[in-house]
Amino acid sequence: MKQFAVGAALAAICLGIVPASAQDKPLVGIVSISATEANNARYIKGAEAAAKELGWEVSVIDAAGSADQANAAIQNFAQRGTTAIIDMVFPFSSIGAGLDAAKSANIPVVTWGGGLGSTVAATNGSGGPMVVPVNDLMLKAMEGKGSLLVLAYRTGEVCRNREVELDKALVAYPDVKVTKNEVRIPGYFEDGAQYANAWLAAHPAGDENLAIWGCWDDPAIGAIGSLRAQGRDDVKVYGVNGNAQALENIKNGFMTATAWQDSYTEGYNMIKLLPEIQKAGADWQPKAVEVPAVLVTKETVEKFIAEHPDAIK
Span 12-26, pLDDT tens digits? 323 333 334 435 799
pTM for the model: 0.87
Residue 224: pLDDT above 70? yes
Span 225-259, pLDDT tens digits? 999 999 999 999 999 999 999 999 999 999 999 99
What whole-number percentage of the chain has pLDDT above 90?
92
Write down all domains in the chain, each with its CATH number in brackets.
24-124+263-290 (3.40.50.2300), 128-260 (3.40.50.2300)
Residue 8: pLDDT above 50? no
Q: What's the chain look like in SS3?
A: CHHHHHHHHHHHHHCCCCCHHHCCCCEEEEEECCCCCHHHHHHHHHHHHHHHHHCCEEEEEECCCCHHHHHHHHHHHHHCCCCEEEEECCCHHHCHHHHHHHHHCCCCEEEECCCCCCCEEEEECCHHHHHHHHHHHHHHHCCCCEEEEEEECCCCHHHHHHHHHHHHHHCCCCCEEEEEEECCCCCHHHHHHHHHHHHHHCCCCCCCCEEEEECCHHHHHHHHHHHHHCCCCCEEEECCECCHHHHHHHHCCCCCEEEECCHHHHHHHHHHHHHHHHHHHHHCCCEECCCCCEEEECCCHHHHHHHCHHHHC
Span 290-301, pLDDT tens digits? 999 999 999 999
Span 64-104, pLDDT tens digits? 999 999 999 999 999 999 999 999 999 999 999 999 999 99
- Look over the chain and give the mean of its residue pLDDT values, rounded to a whole number: 92
Span 174-189, pLDDT tens digits? 999 999 999 999 999 9
